[in-house]
């Protein structure tokens, strides 16, 4: 892109009508927020995956459950989602095991309910801001299209007082209107791609969490039968 083209593009943006300027500013702000959430969510999912891998290795290496639970309690503010699920389940299991009259089914069912509640909270955290990305991907093109339609309408209305219309008279108005559509697509495409990718990654984590809860329930079932 040459210097003249850059100046022409900037001139079109500066010379746009107030409505189109408002649309452009809105789309730029939405795009900035979208990219902010994209980077934050990418780091959050990567950290959750690494923490899940680490805890699964520790859990299936044969470490004592009580020791794992104590380690989770001591590092409560730094542990990952899967370890929080384990902590909730084992804490409820230990609490019910100390009560009289609690059979094995009651112990395991209580632990499973506690893990399910923590699972829902962790999934809500991982899915936070995904709705914004979905809305950005679906709405931004239409907002940009609104700016384009408004700009084209404004360009043709300005020709009403001209006896002989030429392409040179209407081209700047149409060009500045099309910039709104371009910005809308620039905001929408990364949001759609990120939403689909993050949704897939979160679904895979959810499957791993649910599989762990079932396997851990089986371990608790065997411990409850031996008490």
Q: Residue 3: what pLDDT? A: 40
Question: Which region among 26-35, 38-47, 131-140, 164-173 has the lowest average model confidence (pLDDT)?
Answer: 164-173
CA distance 112 to 218: 10
Q: Residue 170: what pLDDT? A: 64
Contact 198, 133 (CB under 8 A): yes
User: Please, what is the end-to-end C-alpha distance for the chain in angstroms?
Assistant: 76
Q: Residue 162: what pLDDT? A: 60
The pTM score is: 0.82
Q: Which of 75, 74, 62, 68 is nearest to 89 (CA)?
A: 68
Mean pLDDT of 20-42: 91
Asked whether the predicted pLDDT for residue 13 surpasses 60, the reply is yes
Distance, CA of 169 to chain centre: 45
Place of tokens 């230990």: 94
Contact 180, 151 (CB under 8 A): yes
Contact 184, 141 (CB under 8 A): yes
Q: How does pLDDT run across 191-224, given as a tens digit for each residue?
A: 999 999 999 999 999 999 999 999 999 999 888 7
Asked whether the predicted pLDDT for residue 32 surpasses 70, the reply is yes
DSSP, residue by residue, 42-86: HHHHHHHHHHHHHHHHHHTTT--HHHHHHHHHHTTTT--HHHHHH
Residues 6+ away with beta carbon under 8 Å from 187: 27, 28, 30, 31, 34, 136, 140, 144
CA distance 177 to 149: 7
Q: How does pLDDT run across 96-121, given as a tens digit for each residue?
A: 887 776 678 888 999 999 999 999 99
Q: How does pLDDT run across 60-70, given as a tens digit for each residue?
A: 988 789 899 99
Q: Residue 20: what pLDDT? A: 76
Mean pLDDT over the full length of the chain: 85
Of 138 and 163, which is predicted with more confidence? Answer: 138
Alpha helices, DSSP H, located in 64-166:
65-74, 81-97, 104-126, 130-157
């Amino acid at each position: 892109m040459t210097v003249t083209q850059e100046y022409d593009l900037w001139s079109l943006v500066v010379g746009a009508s107030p409505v189109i300027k408002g649309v452009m500013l809105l789309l730029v702000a939405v795009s900035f927020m979208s990219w902010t959430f994209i980077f934050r969510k990418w780091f959050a999912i990567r950290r959750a995956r690494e923490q899940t891998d680490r805890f699964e290795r520790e859990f299936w290496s044969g470490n004592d459950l009580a020791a794992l639970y104590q380690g989770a309690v001591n590092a409560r503010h730094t542990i990952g989602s899967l370890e929080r699920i384990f902590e909730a389940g084992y804490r409820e299991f230990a609490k019910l095991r100390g009560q009289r009259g609690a059979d094995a089914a009651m112990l395991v069912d209580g632990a499973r309910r506690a893990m399910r509640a923590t699972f829902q909270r962790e999934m809500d955290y991982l899915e936070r801001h995904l709705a914004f990305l979905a809305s950005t991907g679906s709405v931004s093109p239409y907002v940009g299209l609104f700016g384009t339609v408004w700009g084209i309408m404004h360009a043709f209305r300005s020709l009403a007082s001209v006896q002989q219309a030429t392409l040179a008279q209407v081209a700047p108005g149409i060009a500045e209107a099309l910039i709104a559509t371009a910005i809308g697509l620039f905001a929408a495409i990364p949001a759609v791609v990120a939403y689909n990718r993050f949704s897939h990654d979160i679904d895979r984590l959810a499957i791993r969490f649910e599989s762990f809860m079932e396997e851990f329930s089986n371990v608790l079932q065997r411990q409850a039968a031996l008490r």
